[in-house]
Amino acid sequence: MKVLVCGGAGYIGSHMVRCLLAHRHEPIVYDNLSTGHRQAIDEVPLIVGDIGDANTMRAAFGQHRFDAVIHLCAHSLVGESMKKPYDYYQNNVGGTLCLLNAMREAGVSKLVFSSTAAVFGQPSTPLVDEEHSARPINPYGASKWMVERILADAAPAYGLRSVSLRYFNAAGADPSGDIGESHDPETHLIPNILRAALGHSSSLKIFGDDYPTKDGTCVRDYIHVNDLAEAHLSAIHFMDKHDGAHCFNLGSSNGFTVLEVIEAAKRVTGAEIAFERASRRAGDPPVLVASNAKARAHLGWSPAITNIDDIVRSAWRWHSQARY
Cβ neighbours for 149, distance < 8 A, ≥ 6 positions apart: none
CB 159 within 8 A of CB 283: no
CB 140 within 8 A of CB 78: yes
Of the candidates 126, 150, 127, 146, the one whose C-alpha atom is nearest the C-alpha of residue 136 is: 146
Is 140 a catalytic site residue? yes
Sign of the alpha-carbon dihedral angle for 91, 92, 93, 97: positive
SS3 of residue 53 by DSSP: coil
Catalytic-role residue among 140, 167, 211, 222: 140
Q: Is 324 exposed, middle or buried (0-12, 13-18, 19+ CB in 10 A)?
A: exposed
Evaluate the omega torsion of the peptide bond into residue 185 and state whether it is cis, within 30 degrees of 0: yes
Cβ density class 124-158: b for 16+ within 10 Å, e for less: eeebbebebebebbbbbbbbbbbbbebbbebbeee
Integer Cα distance of 141 and 118 in angstroms = 5
Strand partners, 170: 223
CB 249 within 8 A of CB 320: no
Active-site positions? 140
